[in-house]
Amino acid sequence: MTTGWAKERKTALTPQEVLMVAHAHLIGGVEQHTLAAMFSINAARIAEAVVVIREASENHMQAYRARGGVD
């Protein structure tokens, strides 16, 4: 038996959605469980997306500093 409000959960985010949820969480301050509900996905997928984008950003900044702050 299913309820009328239940949505089928997705199993993965698209690359665009990864950027959207990471931005919403890291910049906008939206909580991860709220984003999980909005995208109908397990909260762990939101946490993974945030980690991937945060690590990419940190790696970019380390490389930038290693070049003396020039692109």
pLDDT(59) > 70: yes
What average pLDDT does the segment 21-25 reach? 96
Could you give the CA distance from residue 54 to residue 69 in angstroms, rounded to a whole number?
19
- What mean pLDDT value characterizes the chain? 89
What average pLDDT does the segment 11-31 reach? 95
Name the least confident of 8-12, 21-25, 52-56. 8-12
Residue type, 34: T
Report pLDDT digits (tens) over 28-39.
999 999 999 999
